[in-house]
Structure 1
């Protein structure tokens, strides 16, 4: 069973607003790299 009421993208898209400079693919990749490194704490 689903505990959440069904919604459409139009109903929730307002929470996606972002104001600021656009992020490049390189920005995303660097953020992912840092996040993975942070989770692994130097483990391989």
Structure 2
């Protein structure tokens, strides 16, 4: 089994080189997940 970081680094490099929009979309998804988590867990823990 390969190191997951290898494929992550390759994907990040490919996105940065070829498709900055993809990176923006991924960041937006992460922001939405964090926002949803805060709403569903108002205690903030």
TM over 0.5: no
> Normalising to structure 1: TM-score of the pair?
0.45
Which has the bigger relative contact order, CA under 8 A and spacing at least 6?
A: 2
Pick the structure with more helix per residue.
Answer: 2
> Normalising to structure 2: TM-score of the pair?
0.44
If you compute each CA radius of gyration, which structure gives the higher value, 1 or 2? 1
